[in-house]
Amino acid sequence: MPTFPLPIVQLFGQGGAYLIYLAIGIAFGMVLEVSGFANSPKLAAQFYFKDMTVIKVMFGAIIVAMLLILLASGIGLLDYNLVWVNPTYMWPGIVGGLIMGVGFILGGFCPGTSLVAAATLKIDGMFFVLGAFFGIFMFGETVSSFDSFWHSSYLGRFTLQDLFNVDAGVIALVVVLMGLFVFWGSEQLERIFGKKDLKAEPRWRYGAAAATVVAGIALVIIGQPTAADRWSQMQVERETQLADRAVQIDPGELFDLIHNDRVIVKMLDVRNESDFNKFHILDAIHIPPEDISAAITDFHMEQENTVFVVMSNDETIATEVWKTLVSESIPNAYILGGGVNAWLDTFSSETFKAEYAVAANTTVGDDQLRYSFPESLGSRYPAASPDPGHFHELEYESKVVLETKRGPTGGGCG
């Protein structure tokens, strides 16, 4: 299994994690200061094409981070699924970017660089920070008036490889080449508008440019691990869990989880639509096995106390879907032991069983519904939502142990 990102809080405790975050923040601030990003005239000069340091430093940081992340993922050191990618809200993002850009031009700072300037006791940086806090306050007081727009055009974790449906390595190489063109163009603009002497620039930048191209080509060759690749790395451990029935939870445990206010239960019913319409547990989500991969991004956005329970009529199809979930690093994924059939066996009345259960001497195929429903009532059968008052002393072996998510929980602006 990949080692990174590290579970910082589990390894160093909450206090240790705060110290690490503080050290990273100080280091980041020092880099911005050394790069001249605490100087508002220098920052604003990019909009007049006189000093393009900002775009070169930021684009350089993006390229280096992109290459290292994808290379680490490609060789199995990093689980890319656990790397936070800000969800995309297309139109709110565009409008917000325009507003921030105007503020950048007028004030000469973005939020991160204004903090660096304030930390170095620059008065304009302090006023910009105060303005930012005032803007945050005003936004919080007025966001309810445009809440529908604020949450509009949601695309989830949407990346360039998703947009163009190509391998991440190809996108990385294209971004590298685009970045090098931007660097070259920036230098030409500085030469024309800023009268900069390019002969004074360090020559090692050519070697760095060549290294990024080589890394981009390497990414195309290496590629990114597929779900099948990740499953092969964990297969022995996970197959042991399946054999020991460590992830197949009893219907009684699922019932108690559903009524546990401290847990969010996502029941994924992966049966065919016909069986789902005949009967399903209340609040179960119908999602065909072929659609699971497309939903992985949304699953990663769920809260830490979310438990995913996959169910089919028995366990065969659910087990295959569970393998996909764990190979995509979805935490707290379990299988409903015995499937929907076992749920009906547990929570149906004797009258219901006598009327709808398939006779014991009748042959039923693997992962087939063992109840014959004359009508497709879905979750309107009593067994779909059993009365807690009648099933409060169910005996079962508890299997669910909440696994804390790894990886950061947010992003930010330099």
Highest mean pLDDT among 35-39, 66-70, 198-202: 66-70
Q: Are residues 307 and 361 in the same domain?
A: yes
When divided into structural domains, the chain yields a total of 2
pLDDT grade for 80, boundaries at 50, 70 and 90? confident
Q: Are residues 50 and 17 in the same domain?
A: yes
pLDDT grade for 206, boundaries at 50, 70 and 90? very high
Q: Are residues 185 and 96 in the same domain?
A: yes
- Residue 403 pLDDT > 90: no
Distance CA 364, CA 148 (A): 49
Distance CA 221, CA 216 (A): 9
Distance CA 397, CA 294 (A): 33
Nearest to 254 by CA among 295, 211, 311, 292: 311
Q: Residue 9: what pLDDT?
A: 81
Distance CA 67, CA 78 (A): 12
Q: Are residues 168 and 246 in the same domain?
A: no
Helix, strand, coil content of the chain in percent (nearest 5): 60, 5, 35
**Residue 89 dihedral angles phi and psi, to the nearest 5°:** -120, 100
* Residue 107 Cα to chain centre, angstroms: 33
Nearest to 39 by CA among 50, 54, 25: 54
In a domain, 358, yes or no: yes
Write down the mean pLDDT value for the chain. 90
For the record, the structure tokens of 94 come out as: 């565009």
Distance CA 414, CA 412 (A): 7
Alpha helices per DSSP H over 86-156: 90-107, 111-119, 123-142, 147-150
* Contact yes or no for 347/270 (Cβ under 8 A): no
Q: Are residues 44 and 123 in the same domain?
A: yes
Q: Are residues 214 and 324 in the same domain?
A: no
Kindly tell me the burial class for residue 173, based on how many C-beta atoms sit within 10 Å of its own C-beta (0-12, 13-18, 19 or more). buried
- Residue 359 pLDDT > 70: no
Share of the chain above pLDDT 70, in %: 95
**Residue burial 26-52, b: 16+ Cβ < 10 Å; e: rest:** eeebeebbebbbbbbebbbbbeebbbb
Specify the DSSP class assigned to residue 78.
B
Instruction: With 0.85 as the threshold, say if the pTM is over it.
Output: no
Mean pLDDT is lowest, of 107-111, 122-126, 221-225, for 107-111
Boundary of a domain, candidates 200, 225, 250: 225
In a domain, 390, yes or no: no
Residue 350 belongs to domain spanning? 228-384
pLDDT grade for 54, boundaries at 50, 70 and 90? confident
Q: Are residues 96 and 110 in the same domain?
A: yes
